[in-house]
């Protein structure tokens, strides 16, 4: 048995109204029937139009004509209460005053938590990325160090030549890692239009991805 959505009317299109729009339009069981504000230039009205939410010219029209179940007054205007209660349909409930402020605080708290979680995810990803790069750079550096120490005691010129070639290859590998990072991080000047080789950019992104997952037992396949 399907449950009918709660039909909500929002009165007030300031910061509180915008926050409610952003929150409620994501909830499947809630239908925002519209929003109204005395100020026709209120920012929340523009946001409502962007979300295809009905914008009413008068509060009375909004709360009387759409089968509203819940009216949420976020205007903070004491004169709005009597107007809403005198115009609403029987059975419609009104949320205003302290209850609306509590909801606003909850919305703000939720937004803060989401921002903190997003930042934590970014930092965790950056940590894994840095660890992968450090691992890839450390390997050739350890090889260079070991070969250099061996060269101090090696008398056979043939062996010295082979180890010198190995050191050269290790240096080239480390240099390539640094070059990949520099190339990927490079940005063109603001407003400057440039041609981009999409295949090359994808190759660069895959190289960076390989560094990021080095320590996570993940294989990146082109």
More confident residue, 127 or 63: 63
SS3 of 7, please? strand
Percent of the chain at pLDDT > 70 equals 80
Q: What's residue 158's pLDDT?
A: 82
- Whether 48 shows a pLDDT value over 60: the answer reads yes
What does the H/E/C string look like for 128-175?
Answer: HHHHHHHHHHHHHHHHHHHHHHHHCCCCCHHHHHHHHHHHHHHHHHHH
Hey, what are 52's tokens? 């295809």
Side-by-side strand order, sheet with 30-36: 55-56, 30-36, 6-11, 70-73, 93-95
* Least confident residue range of 41-45, 84-88, 144-148, 207-211: 207-211
pLDDT-based confidence at residue 221 (cuts at 50, 70, 90):
low
Q: What's residue 217's pLDDT?
A: 61
- Whether 169 shows a pLDDT value over 90: the answer reads no
pLDDT tens digits along 65-94: 768 889 999 888 888 888 888 888 888 888
Q: What's residue 43's pLDDT?
A: 92
CB 100 within 8 A of CB 73: yes
Q: 135 CB contacts (<8 Å, ≥6 apart)?
A: 214, 215
pLDDT tens digits along 87-135: 888 888 888 877 777 777 777 777 788 888 888 777 776 677 677 777 7
More confident residue, 2 or 143: 143
Q: What's residue 218's pLDDT?
A: 61
pLDDT-based confidence at residue 55 (cuts at 50, 70, 90):
very high
User: pTM surpassing 0.75?
Assistant: no
Please provide the average confidence, as pLDDT, over all residues in the chain. Answer: 79
Q: What's residue 50's pLDDT?
A: 93
Q: State the Cα angle at 148 between 143 and 154, rounded to 5°.
A: 120
More confident residue, 142 or 136: 142
């Amino acid at each position: 048995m399907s449950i009918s959505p709660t039909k909500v009317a929002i009165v007030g299109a300031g910061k509180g109204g915008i926050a409610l729009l952003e929150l409620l339009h994501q909830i499947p069981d809630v239908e925002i029937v519209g929003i109204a504000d005395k100020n026709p230039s209120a920012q929340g009205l523009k946001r409502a139009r962007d979300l295809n939410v009905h914008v009413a010219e008068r509060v009375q029209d909004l709360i009387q004509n759409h089968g509203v179940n819940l009216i949420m007054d976020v205007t903070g205007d004491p004169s709005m209460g009597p107007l809403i209660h005198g115009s609403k349909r029987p059975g419609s409930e009104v949320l205003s005053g302290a209850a609306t402020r509590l909801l606003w605080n909850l919305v703000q708290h939720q937004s803060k938590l989401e921002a903190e979680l997003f930042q934590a995810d970014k930092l965790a990803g950056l940590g894994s990325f840095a660890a992968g790069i450090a691992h890839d750079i450390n390997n050739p550096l350890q090889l260079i160090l070991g070969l250099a120490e061996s060269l101090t005691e090696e008398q056979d010129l043939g062996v010295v030549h082979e180890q010198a070639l190995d050191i050269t290859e290790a240096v080239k590998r480390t240099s390539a890692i640094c070059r990949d990072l520099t190339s990927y991080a490079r940005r063109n000047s603001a407003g400057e239009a440039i041609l981009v080789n999409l295949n090359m950019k994808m190759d660069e992104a895959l190289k960076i991805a390989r560094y990021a997952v080095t320590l996570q037992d993940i294989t990146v396949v082109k």
